[in-house]
Amino acid sequence: MNRALIKSVSVCGIVLTLAINSSSLTPAKSQDRSARPTADYKLPFSNRPKVQEIRDWIKQVPDQDRPAAIATFYEQIGKPYLDKTRKQGQYKPPGIKDSDTREFVFKSTPTRDLKLFVDFPADWQKEDNRPALVFWYGGGFTQGNAGQFYYQAKYFTERGAVCFRPEYRVRDTDNTLPVHSVEDGISAVRWIKERAGEFGIDPNRIAVGGGSAGGCMASAVATVDTHKFAELGFVGPEDDQEIDTDVSAMLLFNPYLDFFEPTHPRQIEEECLFLGKDPEDYREALHAISAIEYLTTESPPSIIMFGTRDAFYVSDLRWIVRCRELGLLCRDYVYKGEVHSWYNNSPHLEYTTHNANEFLIEIGFLDRQPEVALPHKPISGGRSAIQATKYNGKKDWDEIPRYREFVEKHSIKLIPFKHYERADQ
């Protein structure tokens, strides 16, 4: 019997009621909807359809026809498109790391072994009981590698923490969905906690962070009900499920927080069908990793940084308000006019890292000493041109009256636009 979960979402003062199909509670991995395409099944479109066309089509496909329909869609549309647009068919390990960075395989998956890269303070000893930071890279769950947060990790090791940068599965390399990525994030935190004594860290003093999809990883790992997620079929086969994934804090750089945010819903149907998967097998699990749905009064404190030209602007604003409603500490830095991933290069790398450091001092995670120089990463001329294109092409959500009113209503401070990124910095 089909069941519908009714979810009311307030988007900047507008309440939207969504009916969410939860017809199957069977773990996604155990569902058997595999089928080969059949010449008897004809798709209603020949070229790549638009997202809404895909959604309208899959909704009306009868249950008995879904396996053949999905397999045919994958062979005729999904696979050719992904083969053409795939940017990272083979995973590229981080191109930047220190000579003393250590690498460990923490998980074996059907497609590859996953590593994490560990950076230690210069005076580290195994007998220490240091704080630890875990950083996940971004890339839309389609690409990316564990080199992204190298500069932040290097800074925080100089501040006394042990830093981990884990890999996770991504679509272009592994033909996976975000739920598989978050499963890998859970596995990484459990693996780290289990070996806290080997790494000289306090298992009860671990903060998680990341940018974009990496911010989703951090927020999901910090809030997901791991037992429910495992029941849905997402648990590492080697995971010790008795080890919790509790963390001390979340460091969120323009994070993706809600797969069902009405202003930018993840294209669930398209994303699943292009991989030959039935979206109904994954819908409930995607809700489970939409961190904004699972914030509670017991959730850890967070810092969130993003700009008004970011596609995730509205859900990131909602995160701030939801944290306040629950009485959670959330330090917010909203930058007028900034775009997605602006923090990757100097001078933005410096002040966003400074913000994160001050937050960690405030919550007692780090001491004030030692004080060290903030990281610096000059931007190349090519990257500067890319950034200029991004700034010119992105709308400013703050220029839309209802979102500006929402910000004013909730007394969210916008930091003035001071973009001065140049190739010679």
pLDDT band at 45, cuts 50/70/90?
A: confident
Highest mean pLDDT among 1-10, 122-131, 344-353: 122-131
pLDDT at 40: 74
Decide if pLDDT at 37 tops 70: no
Q: What is the pTM of this model?
A: 0.88
pLDDT band at 342, cuts 50/70/90?
A: confident
Average pLDDT over residues 127-137: 97
Decide if pLDDT at 64 tops 50: yes
Decide if pLDDT at 301 tops 80: yes
CA 267/CA 373 separation, integer angstroms: 42
Q: Which domains does the chain have, with CATH numbers?
A: 102-257+295-415 (3.40.50.1820)
pLDDT at 19: 37
Task: Give the range among 22-36, 200-214, 248-262, 265-279 with minimum mean pLDDT.
Answer: 22-36
pLDDT at 13: 45
Decide if pLDDT at 386 tops 90: no
pLDDT band at 379, cuts 50/70/90?
A: confident
Decide if pLDDT at 317 tops 90: yes
pLDDT at 47: 80
CA nearest neighbour of 213 among 313, 314, 141: 141
pLDDT band at 206, cuts 50/70/90?
A: very high
pLDDT at 163: 98
pLDDT at 395: 86
Decide if pLDDT at 171 tops 90: yes
Q: Which residue has the higher pLDDT, 123 or 28?
A: 123
pLDDT at 387: 64
Average pLDDT over the chain reads 87
pLDDT at 347: 87
pLDDT at 199: 98
